[in-house]
A and B are shown apart, each in its own frame.
Chain A
């Protein structure tokens, strides 16, 4: 598979950018109030000092965490999935209302959603570490949480490569390297298998399928070349027809869409996105019935399930190679 250098600073995953700046404003106000009146005196109040170590998060910050991490909070659904995937799901004491996978995540205490987590609930859970995916909130988070002796670890994996790095880091934090290494090996092997059949390794021999990924039907949103799905699609043996659009998730002109003539349309399946936009009614994809659905959660939450989606789409695009 193709490698690309990790981008800094991190982009928000698509789920997070939907919320709009209003939520940020609300969250910031709340946090400012809290940080003004909160946390003056209770930094590390236990009698016996807990042995600590230092790890580096995705922003390059040195984060001091206990040697044995036992209680954590995740503020993003994909981080929740990744923590479960490295075998540390039982140490999650708080997650967001968006966290609905795996099934056990639903039973964990909710601390609000990603953009407006409830600081009081988080502090009350007494976690060792809070996993944050939104760099924009880091300043406000750090002050309040670290004043309360809670470490903040920022990580925001996007593409499949990022996911691997994230799983490895999580394995180290939770001391479950065995599970994470096995998982990474397994995922790498599966990605390579797909890439060998349909992806870049195969594509010099044949033309990749022209694919349109529809993120939402009305208004019409798709992916641009800044989305991790652009590369993901390439691995599945497809080529995004909007790969020349220089952004992550553009709202696309229907006129342009109508002229794109995709051979396949992939729907990021959600309530509002169950069929192709009318602009595609004359496209080869619709005429030939080549419209496939992928659960939107799989595409919008970079985690191990991105590989599930990769396998599914590779089969949809090139059924003949998976006999």
Chain B
């Protein structure tokens, strides 16, 4: 386990280093001019770090929600959590343009409400089955999408363009403050999820079982929903909807380290950071000086990979 952890951190270091070296502008290793320093420190580094935080956020939220809901297909994007956050951000975008802090706050609120709504819909007296859960997620997701589309009619053309680009998943608007905020959220969220990891190991097998063996199911559920909403809210407010990270990363991690959430959660955080930083490096450099939305790249890598994993099992 230590070896795998070590390798994962090494890989993160390599990907981060490569991301710092690569970009639309070529930077020398030493003796940077003032302008080149500005490119590195004001533009490239914040973006890379934000990408790492966003990747870690989405991956731990995916890992946590999958165990909590006993469904390896649970993912913030599929469950409507991302769209809830997107709607929250959009409301902030439309009504509180000047107050930047309202974006993550409303994103968090939106993510939380969407999660609870999906959970309530999926839960019946007989308990919760996977089909119901996925169906509820799809319903909430499409409902929220249509609300978002309706709201776009309130936007003028210029705002609409920035919004649609953001909605596709875009890290180009990274700021130093945004990095602090996302970093804080992902640290708090990961700690909460880690603290519930052992309880999640029981929940993963069965909610009733977990209750029988002393897990305070209601409290665990609240903490995991809360932590997931926190990290997804922060990630979506900063970068829009970056899909597939929450689905693919915990899957891959489980293939390597097994199902123990005390390993899956932290390893997913690191692997998620690697995945998004890697994808964003492609987004930044593939058609430079133009840019791709990072969400398109993660989906382009994630979708075929996921199909492969599905068929393999």
A and B touch in the complex (CB under 8 A): yes
Chain A contact residues, CB within 8 Å of chain B: 15, 18-20, 22, 98, 216, 218-221, 242, 245, 247, 250-256, 258-259, 261, 270-273, 278-279, 281-282, 296
Which of B31-39, B51-59, B110-118 faces chain A?
A: B31-39
Q: If A219-B162, A253-B284 touch, does A282 touch B290 (CB 8 Å cutoff)?
A: no
Task: Known A-B contacts: A253-B290, A258-B39, A270-B158. Give 18 more (CB < 8 A).
Answer: A216-B162, A218-B173, A219-B172, A250-B290, A252-B289, A253-B25, A253-B172, A253-B288, A253-B289, A255-B24, A255-B43, A255-B44, A256-B24, A256-B288, A256-B289, A258-B25, A270-B156, A282-B34
Instruction: Kindly provide the distance from the CB of B144 to the nearest chain A CB, expressed in whole angstroms.
Output: 15
Cβ of A15 and Cβ of B157 under 8 Å apart?
yes
Contacts of B161 in A (CB 8 A): 18, 216, 221
Q: Which chain B residues in 158-193 approach chain A with CB under 8 Å?
A: 158-162, 164-166, 170, 172-173
Provide a sorted-by-A list of 21 A–B residue pairs whose CB atoms are within 8 angstroms.
Answer: A15-B157, A18-B158, A18-B160, A18-B161, A22-B149, A218-B172, A219-B170, A221-B161, A242-B289, A245-B290, A252-B289, A252-B290, A253-B288, A255-B23, A255-B44, A256-B24, A258-B35, A259-B25, A270-B157, A281-B38, A281-B42
Cβ of B25 and Cβ of A256 under 8 Å apart?
yes
Cβ of A259 and Cβ of B166 under 8 Å apart?
no
B260 at the interface (CB under 8 A from A): no
Instruction: Kindly provide the distance from the CB of A21 to the nearest chain B CB, expressed in whole angstroms.
Output: 10
Give per-residue flags for B119-141: 1 if the beta carbon is below 8 A from chain A beta carbons, else 0: 00000000000000000000000
Q: If A245-B290, A255-B25, A255-B43 touch, does A20 touch B164 (CB 8 Å cutoff)?
A: yes
Q: Name the residue of chain B whose CB is nearest to the CB of A20.
A: B164
Contacts of A273 in B (CB 8 A): 158
Q: Tally inter-chain residue pairs, CB-CB below 8 A.
A: 92
Chain B contact residues, CB within 8 Å of chain A: 23-25, 34-35, 38-39, 42-44, 97, 149, 156-162, 164-166, 170, 172-173, 284, 288-291
Q: In the docked arrangement, what's the CA distance between A250 and B86, Å? A: 24
Contacts of A252 in B (CB 8 A): 289-291
Cβ of B289 and Cβ of A219 under 8 Å apart?
no
Cβ of B159 and Cβ of A272 under 8 Å apart?
yes
Cβ of B160 and Cβ of A19 under 8 Å apart?
yes
Q: If A259-B39, A279-B43 touch, does A254 touch B290 (CB 8 Å cutoff)?
A: no
Q: In the docked arrangement, what's the CA distance between A271 and B160, Å? A: 11
Q: In the docked arrangement, what's the CA distance between A221 and B160, Å? A: 13
Top 10 nearest A-B pairs by Cβ distance?
Answer: A253-B24, A256-B289, A270-B158, A255-B25, A250-B290, A18-B161, A256-B24, A255-B24, A254-B43, A253-B289
Cβ of A18 and Cβ of B291 under 8 Å apart?
no
Q: In the docked arrangement, what's the CA distance between A259 and B34, Å? A: 11
Cβ of A259 and Cβ of B165 under 8 Å apart?
no
Contacts of B288 in A (CB 8 A): 253, 256
Q: Name the residue of chain A whose CB is nearest to the CB of B36.
A: A259
Q: In the docked arrangement, what's the CA distance between A296 and B159, Å? A: 13
Q: In the docked arrangement, what's the CA distance between A309 and B297, Å? A: 38
Q: Name the residue of chain B whose CB is nearest to the CB of A258.
A: B39
Cβ of B35 and Cβ of A254 under 8 Å apart?
no
Contacts of A22 in B (CB 8 A): 149
Cβ of A251 and Cβ of B34 under 8 Å apart?
no
Instruction: Kindly provide the distance from the CB of B302 to the nearest chain A CB, expressed in whole angstroms.
Output: 21
Q: If A19-B160, A252-B290, A256-B288 touch, does A219 touch B173 (CB 8 Å cutoff)?
A: yes
Cβ of B157 and Cβ of A251 under 8 Å apart?
no
Q: In the docked arrangement, what's the CA distance between A294 and B157, Å? A: 16
